Structure 1
Amino acid sequence: MKKVYLIGYMGSGKSAIGKRLSFSTRLPFYDMDTEIEKRLGMTIPEIFEKHGEAYFREKETEFLRTFRNENCIIATGGGVAMRRENRELMRSSGLVFYLNAPFRDIWRRISTDRNRPIVQRSTRIELEQLYNERLPHYLKAAHFKVETENRTLRQVTEYLAFQIGRLKGDI
C-alpha cells in the first residue's frame, strides 16, 4: 500500500474524513494545505495575497513530488486535480478517492469560511461554475468516485476503510 489521496471540491469533506480514516486504518493523516502552510510559514490566505494563486498551485505540485514516501492518507487541496502532472503523481503513487458532494451541500459548508480565499472573492454562481469546471479533472484523477450525499462521515469513512483494506496489496 502506498499513499491514499482524498480529492474533491473545497468543503467536500476531505479533511474531516481523512482524520477519521486515519484513526480507523492506523495510517498517518496529512492535510496538504496545512503542510504547505508549515513549509512556508504562512496561512493559505497569506500565501494567496502575497504570492498569488499560481505560486500556491506550484507549491501543491512540489508537495506531491517531494512529500515523504510512506503509507499515509493525504487530504489534498480542492484545486490540486486541475494539473495533469498532479493527477499523474497521485495516481502513480497511491489510491485516489474523489469525494463527490453536491454543490448545495458544499455551499452550506463553505459560504461563511474566512480561511478560503476563493470563497471570499467569489459569488455563489462563480463558485458553482468552478465546481463544474473541476469535476472532469476529479474524475480523471480518481481511481474511485465516492458519493457522499445522504451519507454520514462515518458511513463514508467505513466505505473508504473497506476499499483500502481490500486493495492493500494491489497498488
Structure 2
Amino acid sequence: MALRYELDPPVDRRLADGICALWAEVVNAGGAVGFVPPVTADDVRPELVRHLTAMAEERVRLMVARDEDGEVAGTAFLTFNTHRLMRHWVWLYTVMLHPARQGRGEGRDLMAAVEEAVRGMDGIRGIRLTCRGGMGLERFYGSCGYKEVGRVPDAIRVADDDFRDDITMWLQLR
C-alpha cells in the first residue's frame, strides 16, 4: 500500500518516538543520516529534539511518510536559510525511509512529495542537500532530478580510517 505524506504534522510523543525508532533503524541498516551504527532511539533523540526546536521556531519544516497503519515510515526535514542572499532556496536533510520499504520506489515518492511541497512555498527556487560519499546516494538523488554541484573529499569521518566525500546536490525548481 502507498505511503501517505504530511507536511508539518502536529508533533506528539507518538510521532517523536516513531521518528527516533526510524532513525535508529535506518542508521543500523547502514543509512547515512548523521550517525554511524550501532545506535538506539535514545542515541538519536537529542538530535531530533534540536530538529523539533527549530520547527517550533519556524526555521524547519517536516515531511512525514506514514504507512497504512499510520506509523512513521519516512521523513525529510527542510530548513530555511536566514542569510538574506540565500532565502530563495532550502536545505533538505535527514531524508529517511524505513529499510524494509527501500527498493520499491517509495524513496523517489518521498522525494517527489518534498519537491511538490517546496514548489508551493513562496519565493523558493531550489533545494540543496548534502550526502555521504561511498554510499551511492548521489546516484539515487540524481535519479530524482538533483545535480551534483560540489564535492569535498574526505570531509566526513565515519571511523578512524574511513573518510568519505561530502557531496552537494541541487534541484533547480524555477
TM-score with structure 1 setting the length: 0.29
Higher RCO (C-alpha 8 Å, min separation 6):
1
If each structure's helix is expressed as a fraction of its own residues, which one has the higher value?
1
Structure with higher strand content: 2
